[in-house]
Structure 1
Amino acid sequence: MVRVSTAGLLTLSGLAGLVHTTFAVIQYRQLLKLSQEEFEALPATIVLELCISTIVALLGAYILAGPIKVIVMPAKGRNMDIGSLRTDLVSFNMRSRAMPLDIPPLQPH
């Protein structure tokens, strides 16, 4: 049995509303093409559905993410140099030392 939280239901219903709004816009555009009318703006009901679906999906995702965790650096033992160590730069420096230093310059032909 699958347990779905309230936040999960909010997110899913918001996303379902966004998918429904997408199909409503597609149908509206097809109706305008059939009646050979110019597209000026979406109907207010579709815009309202879009806003409500977006708010519900964002609220569900916000609740689903949980509280923000604080990053705590220990007072002793670590400083900013160790915390900002970039291993990709270190490996680049190691490979560059293996290159020969007596490379002749290129001669144009």
Structure 2
Amino acid sequence: MRISTGGLLALAGLVGLVHTTIAVIQYRQLLKLSQEEFESLPATIVLELILSAAVATLGAYLLAGPIKVIVMPAKGRSMDIGSQRTDFISFNMRSRAMPLDIPPLQLS
């Protein structure tokens, strides 16, 4: 089994994000033990988060491969005719037989 560069980058980015999550949890526990108030994360954790997210995004981009163009056949049906337009389907059900002049409920 061959692992691509995109797969390795995505995996490294995800491992970095998990490590960042664990570092944030440990930092918050340390603040609770020292009874300090949380104001912001240390710059090293924020930098690790940004780098891990960028590496994971780059890996996912490389893993996806090139974008393929969608080509409609020349003699095929057009998009307007070929679509099913499920938004406009109406259902015939028993509620159509109900009278329309039903008085509102009287709450007493």
Please tell me the TM-score bracket, short chain as reference.
0.7 to 0.9
**Equivalent residue number for residue 20 of structure 1:** 19
- The runs of at least 4 aligned residues of structure 1 exceeding 3 Å deviation read 98-101, 106-109
TM-score, L = length of structure 2: 0.80
* CA distance in 1 between partners of 2:98 and 2:25 (Å): 65
* CA distance in 1 between partners of 2:95 and 2:45 (Å): 67
Provide structure 2 residue ranges, at least 5 long, that are not aligned to the other structure: none
Q: Which amino acid aligns with 1:59?
A: L
**Equivalent residue number for residue 77 of structure 1:** 76
**Equivalent residue number for residue 47 of structure 2:** 48
TM-score, L = length of structure 1: 0.80
* CA distance in 2 between partners of 1:6 and 1:72 (Å): 30
Q: Which amino acid aligns with 1:71?
A: I
Equivalent residues, number = 103
CA RMSD, Structure 1 to Structure 2 (Å): 2.3
Tell whether 2:5 aligns with 1:36.
no
Provide structure 1 residue ranges, at least 5 long, that are not aligned to the other structure: none
